[in-house]
Amino acid sequence: MKTHRTLTSIVLAVLMAIPLLAATPKTKTPQKKQFMAGAATSNITPWLGDGLVGNFGTPPPAKHVHDELYARCFVLDDGATRIALVVADNIYISREVLDDAKRQITEATGITGERILISGTHTHSSVSARWKNPLQPEKEFTEYQRFVAHRISDGVRCAVNNLQPARVAWGTVDVPGQVFCRRWLMKPGTELFNPFGEPEQAKMNPGDSPNLLKPASPVDPQIGFLALQTLDGRPLGLLANYSLHYVGGTGPSHISADYFGMFCDRIQELLGADRQDPPFVAAMSNGTSGNINNRDQSQPRVRRPPYEQMRFVANECAQAVFRQYKNLVWQDAAPLAMRQGELELAVRKPTPAQLAHAKKVLSEPERRDKFPHERNYAGKAIQQLESPKTVRVILQAVRIGELGISAIPFEVFSETGLELKARNPFKPSFTVSFGNGGYGYLPTPDQHKLGGYETWLGTSKVEVQASTKIVKALLEMFSELK
């Protein structure tokens, strides 16, 4: 009888526990969030008649469109964070114009400004979208500035519309034969002066001079790139970065996207990505090339027909990326993160001697230049004097998986780019110049000591230590992302 009661108690206890066991929640395996990507282009070609950038004196009016200019837009989403990356075929778009584009993007898509990176390229064959004095915004946008801001916003909106499940990869390849330091140290005894009559040691593009000593800086031969494809392996987009200033060699008064645009056409062709729906989008961003161009100054200059050298450079770069593309390791997911900060920099002012020289030059209308571009830089010295004492610039650090991207709103020197690559915790990494604005050249302190066009007051607009402060700030931001 006792045994029976004991068995009955055990059975009742088990039956009573069953609902409790059934109510215990099962441990769910975390599901990997779907990586998404979308890309689109938006035409930002200016109308004919406005002045082309990249010339001393009065810009010549644009008379022909050789190839259209675009804002090339990418939107990435890892399931938690959404970012936008834009490369526009236009040099020196003012920060305020890009801020307005970001405002429009945020209102339309919800992507906040600190998650949007917009950069320009160093084409010398576009119409300017910046202020006459980049350090001093004007009260109203020009018609073209309003147009550019709106069209960049449209491009990002279309990229959002094109979002789809995607894979991502990144890679690098060296193309050393197309990048050369354009700043040369000259032999002792060579007379060199800046526009204020001050002696210097380095000269930009010295040509076939017998006084060449050696290049003043190393080059960065590496192309870094981000690649996107659909889940079934169709190319979706590709964002590349190369530390080459530009190529040039357009037709007279032509609008063109330079080799940047030609690279996009060629890599699309090599990948067999023509006539897709939605279209494949490629972009080539400016790396750290403020002191780098496409000509070896130690060799005689070769004259080529318009656009021939651009095509040659674009093809070599695209072929190199295409070869490396075949070896990419594709990821179904990659964490996305961005950090944005503002850095206050002092604006350079003329020394008393420079100011006195500038005023003397400007007071003598018939005076012929005694030094390089003397009158032009006398005007720039006055502009620097009348500019604010400081300027706040945007810096951005971007993480896409193990790829790191820096954005700096200057024409950055190769030494700065190489230092950031060496010290960046993300491998690979690259730096985008003209990111979120454009405030002139950014020589290193050592390069400032050598002089040369890129260091002249007015060409370089901010303090001598600016590059050092920028590197420090960016590395701190990348440390946070890691």
What is the total count of domains within the chain? 2
Phi-psi region of 191 (alpha: psi -120 to 50; beta: other; left: phi over 0): beta
Same domain assignment for residues 266 and 356: no
Same domain assignment for residues 43 and 163: yes
Same domain assignment for residues 266 and 359: no
DSSP string, 362-392: HT-TTPPPSSTTHHHHHHHHHHHHHS-SEEE
Per-residue pLDDT at 28 exceeds 80: no
Answer whether residue 123 is part of any domain: yes
Per-residue pLDDT at 307 exceeds 70: yes
Same domain assignment for residues 218 and 356: no
Question: Is the N-terminal amide bond of 388 cis, ω within 30° of 0?
Answer: no
Same domain assignment for residues 328 and 352: no
Q: How far is CA 408 from CA 110, 164, 280, 443, in A?
A: 24, 30, 27, 13
pLDDT 10s digits, 131-188: 999 999 999 999 999 999 999 999 999 999 999 999 999 999 999 999 999 999 999 9
Same domain assignment for residues 326 and 356: no
Answer whether residue 114 is part of any domain: yes
Same domain assignment for residues 118 and 241: yes
Strand-pair partners of 36: 77, 165
pLDDT 10s digits, 262-306: 999 999 999 999 999 999 999 999 999 999 999 999 998 888 999
Average pLDDT, the chain: 93
% of the chain with per-residue pLDDT over 90: 88
From the CB of residue 198, how many other CB atoms can be counted at a distance below 10 Å?
16
For residues 481 and 377, what is the distance between their CA atoms, to the nearest angstrom? Answer: 42
Same domain assignment for residues 353 and 220: no
In which domain, by residue range, is 233 found? 36-181+212-332
Answer whether residue 462 is part of any domain: no
Same domain assignment for residues 253 and 165: yes
Answer whether residue 6 is part of any domain: no
For residues 117 and 395, what is the distance between their CA atoms, to the nearest angstrom? Answer: 10
Same domain assignment for residues 137 and 251: yes
Domain boundary pick from 332, 366, 398 = 332
Answer whether residue 140 is part of any domain: yes
Same domain assignment for residues 223 and 356: no
Bridge-based pairing state of the strands 254-255 and 64-65: parallel
For residues 341 and 343, what is the distance between their CA atoms, to the nearest angstrom? Answer: 7
pLDDT 10s digits, 33-70: 899 999 999 999 999 999 998 777 788 999 999 999 99
Same domain assignment for residues 223 and 363: no
Per-residue pLDDT at 22 exceeds 50: no
Answer whether residue 457 is part of any domain: no
Query: What pLDDT is stored for residue 12 in this prediction?
Result: 41
Query: What pLDDT is stored for residue 443 in this prediction?
Result: 98
Tokens of 13: 């206890």
CA neighbor of 256 nearest in space, from 87, 89, 94: 89
> CA dihedral defined by 7, 8, 13, 19, rounded to 10 degrees?
120
**Mean pLDDT (whole number) for 88-111:** 97
Answer whether residue 245 is part of any domain: yes
Per-residue pLDDT at 7 exceeds 70: no
Answer whether residue 92 is part of any domain: yes
